[in-house]
A = this chain, B = another copy of it.
Amino acid sequence: MTILVRMVRTRTFDPTAALTKAVNLFSCKGYSETSMEDIVQATGVSRYGLYGTFGNKRELFEQALDRYADGMGKNSFLRLLEPDASLDHIRTIFAERVDDMCCEEETKGCLFIHTAMELAPQDNDLRDVLQKFMKRMGKAFSVGLESAKARGEIRDDVDVNDAGELLTSTMFGLAVLGRTGFKRETLDGIVDNTLAAMQ
C-alpha cells in the first residue's frame, strides 16, 4: 500500500533550525518556563507548523533533548573516542562547559539537569532516555581516560569506569554552581583538582 501525499503548499520554515532554537530555549529556561508561544516567537514558526512537525510540547522537548545530546556528542565527546584522545581533550570539554555556564549575558543552562529535575521523576520514558545519554557520557569519559592512561597522563591505578562516572557527575555539579553565579575561577579550580587526583 502506498500513501500518496500531495504537497500543495511548501513549508516555509526549516525544522532543523527551528529545533535548534527550541533547544536553546529549553536548555536556558527548562521545560515549564518555556512556553509554546516563546518558541513561536523565537523561531518565527506558527503554532500550526510546530504542532504539525513536532507533535506537542512534550514530544518537541524529547526531540530537543535528543538534539542536545547529539550536539554534545558531536561537539565534545566524539573526540574522546579517537585513539589519540588525551587529558587535554578532557580539559577542553570542561573548559567549554565552564564557558557555557559562566557566560555573562545569559547562562546557557543544561538541558540534562532541567530534564532530571523537572521531568524525570514523572516521566519514565524521558528518564530512561536521559539516563542513556548520561551513561554514554560516562562511557566516553572512560574511553578518553583510557587513552590518556596509555599516554601516561593518568595514573595506572585509576579505574576508568569509576572515573568516567565521577567526571559525569562533576559536569552537573559545575553547572549548578555556574547557575548560582559562582566565579569562573572557582569552577576551573574544581576541574583542576578533580583531574589532578587522577594524574
Which chain A residues numbered 103 to 144 have a C-beta less than 8 Å away from chain B?
106-107, 109, 112-114, 116-118, 120-121, 127-128, 130-131, 134
Which chain A residues numbered 40 to 90 have a C-beta less than 8 Å away from chain B?
none
**Given A127-B181, A134-B180; A117-B121 close (CB under 8 Å):** no
- Chain A's interface: helix, strand, loop or mixed, by majority? helix
Which chain A residues numbered 155 to 199 have a C-beta less than 8 Å away from chain B?
159, 162-163, 165-166, 168-174, 176-177, 179-182, 186, 189-190, 193-194, 197-198
A33 is an interface residue with CB less than 8 A from chain B: yes
Instruction: Establish whether residues A120 and B166, one from each chain, have CB atoms under 8 Å apart when the complex forms.
Output: no
A162: chain B residues within 8 A (beta carbon):
189-190, 193
**Given A113-B117, A117-B109, A197-B197; A166-B179 close (CB under 8 Å):** no
A30: chain B residues within 8 A (beta carbon):
117-118
Instruction: Establish whether residues B134 and A121, one from each chain, have CB atoms under 8 Å apart when the complex forms.
Output: no
* Choice from B120, B169, B179, B197 contacting A179 with Cβ under 8 Å: B120
A193 CB to closest chain B CB (Å) equals 5
Q: How far is the CA of A100 from the CA of B118 in the complex (A)?
A: 17
Q: Which residues of A contact B (CB under 8 A)?
A: 28, 30, 32-33, 106-107, 109, 112-114, 116-118, 120-121, 127-128, 130-131, 134, 159, 162-163, 165-166, 168-174, 176-177, 179-182, 186, 189-190, 193-194, 197-198
